Amino acid sequence: MKSFRTELENPVVEQEIIELEKKIRQYLTGELHPDRFKSLRLARGIYGQRQKGVQMIRIKLPQGRLTTAQLKRIADISDEYATGNLHLTTRQDIQLHFVSLERTPELWTKLAMDDLTIREACGNTVRNITGSHLAGVDPNEPFDVTPYADAAFRYFLRNPVCQDMGRKFKIGFSSSEQDEAFAYIHDIGLIPRIQEKDGKLVKGFKVVVGGGLGAQPFTAKLAFEFLPAEDLLPYIEAVLRVFDRYGERTNRHKARMKYLIEKLGMEKFTELVQAEYKGLKAFHVPIEFHEQLEHLPERIEIPPYTISNTEKFQAWLITNVIPQKQTGYRGVYLKITNGNISSDTARKLADLVKSLAADQMRVTNNQGIFIRYVPEQALGYLFTRLDELGLAEPGFDSTADVTSCPGTDTCNLGISNSTGIARMLEQVILQEYPQLIYNKDIKIKISGCMNSCGQHGIATIGFHGASLKAGGKVLPALQVLLGGGPTGHGEGRLAEKITKVPSKRAPQALRLILNDYLKNAQPGETFNAYYDRQGKNYFYNLLKPLTDLTNLQPDDFIDWGQEVEYSTAVGVGECASVVVDLVYVLLNEAEEKLEIADQWLKDGNYGDAVYQAYTASVYAAKALLLDKEVNCNTHIGIINDFDQHFQAAEFDVAPSFASFVLQINQHEPKPDFAEAYLHQAHRFLQKARTYHQQRSIAVADAQETIPS
């Protein structure tokens, strides 16, 4: 592997990149167990693809914020390391595909030159913190949530409380009660509010918890109607500590926080969260609010231009341009098919935006781009230039703007193609229902599997990948769902499953649904209101003729965008790290974590040092339990099981392991406690290693006495 050192200004990032290079080398030479390496690389945004030997790299863009320099940097990197394509995601990230594992340290180094990171973009971590793309320019916002979302991103990045949880954790900030960020499908969703207190106006948030999509979707539950902004980060940290300790770790299909809340109930969950506060680094974390100053061109020159298609321009003005709360400026949306934009187009877009508008764009949660601070007088010229780039198609976030994940193009979990059918359905709308480019009510969303990366679970009309059997063969199919979407105020509807149809019949299914609605809906009746009036069974019967498999054609056995017959080839999911039952690995990782804790203690970072020592102790305890073939699926289970199977006094943690390790929520993380806690954690690990070594020797001796 090429040795690559960086001159990055941030020594933490530099060390992480050097460590990644080291771990890759250890993995390739067989020194590092593949499962532990998988966990490490996922937490660094490196995700295995469907195609063997290449990786997807996920670049974390908090709130989708993206400067023109960053966009050009990513475009250049895609040309050098990937395919020359940038994929915008529904989590407001950018993904690059077909990257060689050995080149990922170099790639990360070049990203870091423009303050971009891949850290914790995948894995069992706090994922990219999403936010309304309108934040700061939204006429309906009580205040700009950008500084608060940014503070949350920085507070939890590399935070030991969320480095290796049982499952991923998602946070979303909306800018208003309209809930543009879909707060209701997040582990923690936030709606900004202002409340009067003691004659002063106080900024805060409505907080909802435990939402999520996937195969079993949940809408979030109310935690607070109003939580003061300075209490937000401590609350999130307390929630993460509970999730880390009580969350499922073996059955990843039941490991999201929504299942923990369902199991405990909101009352018990809240009680556990409150119990964590004493051990937090701070009870209140004031977040400095400052007006977000957009970098605008000092002088805007608009060359002569001619709008050749005035009808398209007028449609674009209606569907893709909105007024900002700042007088004289407009926000402009770019509709990006499948979320894919070429690196060449991205560079030209960056130059155009820098010359006319705010330097910072935002990736939207339907895979588009939002340009901010466009002067009203520049709209015509901007349209002509965007049209030259193929980026001026009207109908952003309309029925004709179909959301889709990559599906079987690159994802291990994809069951059927989502990108090809998305393009086909867009063509159906544009050619047969052109009036629907003005419809912002009906949203079509497609995922390649039930995991809902394409957001089908909250679609007005949704599809997710599936398969059907007919005549001894398997054919690609799509599950049809109807009736989802946000209702505002951090609440929303989940789409209901109607029926499965062969994938090649999806355009027919869409036509049946739209024709029925356009013919029978009452004036002004939204699709979801019409769906409620007619009922699920009505739509099942409407689509039932398409489920008949007695008249299949050869083309039905070929998925969209493919030339050969369909076959199911679902791989192992890479959404989270796996549980590795290797005693020596866990003991080594416990030691590594304690080394980090020691450094943090030395630096005066007492809260993080204590939590890291807690995690190290749990790892060591789990190692000894696994050595006795006792499997545990939660941190609290490990703690309780250790006391059942071992004598605490033998490990210097009398009266119990629980009494030692759970001191983290009984003491404030002050210097004396932190030093004593780390000292005890080191003694526990030392005793654990000694126990394991003695047990290994005893087992080896016993095996030698067994006749061959």
In tens, the pLDDT along 471-529 reads: 889 999 999 999 999 999 999 999 999 999 999 999 999 999 999 999 999 999 999 99
Render pLDDT for 342-376 as a digit per residue (tens, 0 to 9).
Answer: 999 999 999 999 999 999 999 999 999 999 999 99
Question: 274 with 238: CB under 8 angstroms?
Answer: yes
Of 89, 187, 183, the closest CA to residue 145 belongs to 183
CA atoms within 13 A of residue 322's CA, in its CB half-sphere: 17
d(CA 278, CA 610): 13
Token pair of 514 as six digits: 């739209």
CA atoms within 13 A of residue 212's CA, in its CB half-sphere: 22
Q: Which residues, in sequence order, are bridge partners of residue 464?
A: 447, 479
d(CA 576, CA 261): 20
How confident is the model at residue 290, as a pLDDT?
66
How confident is the model at residue 286, as a pLDDT?
87
d(CA 45, CA 583): 26
Of 536, 548, 547, 424, the closest CA to residue 481 belongs to 536
Of 386, 343, 412, 487, the closest CA to residue 50 belongs to 412
Residue 522 DSSP one-character state: P
d(CA 197, CA 193): 13
Of 104, 106, 114, 77, the closest CA to residue 4 belongs to 106
H and E: helices and strands count for the chain:
20, 22
Q: Which domains does the chain have, with CATH numbers?
A: 11-112 (3.90.480.20), 137-279 (3.30.413.10), 310-388 (3.30.70.3340), 403-557 (3.30.413.10), 583-704 (1.20.120.330)
Residue matched to tokens 């009808």: 311
Q: Which residues, in sequence order, are bridge partners of residue 445?
A: 403, 462
Of 497, 137, 489, 496, the closest CA to residue 332 belongs to 137
Instruction: Return the amino acid letter for 206.
Output: K
Render pLDDT for 148-206 as a digit per residue (tens, 0 to 9).
Answer: 999 999 999 999 999 989 999 999 999 999 999 999 999 999 999 999 988 999 999 99
Residue matched to tokens 């690196």: 343
User: Strand 188-197 relative to strand 65-67: parallel, antiparallel, unpaired?
Assistant: unpaired
Rg, Å, the chain Cα set: 27
How confident is the model at residue 6, as a pLDDT?
41
> Hey, is 445 helix, strand or coil?
strand
Q: Please name the residues in contact with 395: beta carbons below 8 A apart, sequence gap of 6 or more.
A: 315, 319, 320, 335, 401, 430, 436, 437, 438
Of 645, 678, 683, 682, the closest CA to residue 663 belongs to 678
How confident is the model at residue 633, as a pLDDT?
86
Question: What is the per-residue DSSP string for 405-433?
Answer: --GGGT-TT--S-SHHHHHHHHHHHHHH-
Q: Please name the residues in contact with 394: beta carbons below 8 A apart, sequence gap of 6 or more.
A: 312, 315, 316, 318, 319, 320, 335, 437
How confident is the model at residue 617, as a pLDDT?
97
Evaluate the omega torsion of the peptide bond into residue 523 and state whether it is cis, within 30 degrees of 0.
no
Token pair of 525 as six digits: 């009746």
Beta strands in 108-241 (DSSP E): 130-131, 171-173, 188-197, 200-209, 221-228
How confident is the model at residue 75, as a pLDDT?
98
How confident is the model at residue 575, as a pLDDT?
54
Q: Is 552 exposed, middle or buried (0-12, 13-18, 19+ CB in 10 A)?
A: middle
**CA distances in angstroms from 90 to 364, 439, 486, listed in the order given:** 7, 20, 15
Token pair of 371 as six digits: 């340009």
How confident is the model at residue 581, as a pLDDT?
40
d(CA 203, CA 110): 38
pTM over 0.85, yes/no:
yes
Parts of the chain with a pLDDT under 70 = 1-9, 289-293, 569-582, 699-708
